[in-house]
Amino acid sequence: MRNAQMALIAALTMLGAAAAAQEAGEIWSLEGLDAPESALHDPERDVIYVSNVGGQPLDKDGNGTISRVSPAGEMIEADWVSGLDGPKGLALHEGTLHVTDIDRLVAIDVASGEITGEWPAEGAEFLNDAAADDEGRIYASDMIGNRIYRLADGAMSVWLEDEALEHPNGLKVVEGILNIASWGAGLREDATTEEPGRLLTVDLETKEIVPFGSGEGIGNLDGLEPDGAGNWLVTDWVAGGLYRIDPEGEATRLHPLAPGSADLGFMAGDGVALIPMSSEGRLVAYRLASP
């Protein structure tokens, strides 16, 4: 009897260790992408969209594409949408994928893969991320220009322009608040900044800009996703790295990634972060440990 008990304990211990091993760390990596910038999981269709710049980020060369990837890291369609210039941020709302493309916003019907709309962002210097609110309005960050554009009622215009945006990059709307991952104040020619980027919040009604939590500087931030447990996940493009930021604004580095870790997506049901590694041409999936 004692031997059976010991065997059961050993088996449970091994199962627990295996579960813990599966909980955190890289689970797959997909090579062969072309300067991937943003990843977005579509839970309804269980597919991952990836934007590929396909050249220099500001070149209007028609080399940009959108790929479709399976949650297991297999390429479904490399050139699902082609003919874009420098596609970056992705936002999905009611079957339409919105993509920032240097100085315009493009809409794609996800059922057909057809481009169904295009809106110029007058004066935009470098559109980066995109986010949708509950009403279907689309926000786009102009990182260089310190602006937020908004598509509403079929028109694209500057919604907010302020140096206090600290060169906004990643965007996410949650409960009437536009959350921003900033690149940092004092942008230099080499893309570094005088001050590290941090999280900011903007009230959609008042447009008041407030630092998130303690307002601690973190790095040159790119992607921004909630982890479903009250924290934020962000990537640092210049230094590389995946961070978790708690509600007080304290940042913990989860993975020391290479430079070029771009606009991440998140598969909430699996606790998996999807990180485009722009300089390496790959998409990597990390299962996160519990906070």
Query: Is residue 17 pLDDT above 70, yes or no?
Result: no
Nearest-angstrom CA–CA distance, 125 and 137: 21
Place 128 in a pLDDT band, splitting at 50, 70 and 90.
very high
- 130-155 mean pLDDT: 97
Q: Does residue 93 surpass a pLDDT of 90?
A: yes
Return the pLDDT at 23: 56
Please report the pLDDT score of residue 15 as a whole number.
Answer: 38
pLDDT the model gives residue 290: 80
The percentage of residues in the chain with a pLDDT greater than 70, rounded to a whole number, is 92
3-state secondary structure the chain: CHHHHHHHHHHHHHHHHHHHHHHCEEEEEECCCCCEEEEEEECCCCEEEEEECCCCCCCCCCCEEEEEECCCCCEEEEEEEEEECCEEEEEEECCEEEEEECCEEEEEECCCCEEEEEEECCCCCCEEEEEECCCCCEEEEECCCCEEEEEECCEEEEEEECHHHCCEEEEEEECCEEEEEECCCCECCCCCECCCECEEEEECCCCCEEECCCCCCCECEEEEEECCCCCEEEEECCCCCEEEECCCCCEEEEECCCCCECECEEECCCCEEEEEEHHHCEEEEEECCCC
- pLDDT at res. 55: 87
Residue 65 has pLDDT above 70, yes or no: yes
Domain boundary assignment for the chain: 28-287
Mean pLDDT of the chain: 92
Assigned CATH topology for domain 28-287: Neuraminidase (2.120.10)
For residue 199, what pLDDT is reported? 98
Contact 10, 273 (CB under 8 A): no
Burial (CB count <10 Å: 0-12, 13-18, 19+), residue 24: middle
Of all residues in the chain, what percent carry a pLDDT higher than 90?
A: 88
Is residue 158 pLDDT above 50, yes or no?
Answer: yes
- pLDDT score of 8 more than 80: no
* Least confident residue range of 2-16, 23-37, 169-183, 191-205: 2-16
pLDDT > 70? residue 174 = yes
Q: pLDDT tens, 222-273?
A: 999 999 999 999 999 999 999 999 999 999 999 999 999 999 999 999 999 9
Q: How far apart are CA 99 and CA 53, in angstroms?
A: 11
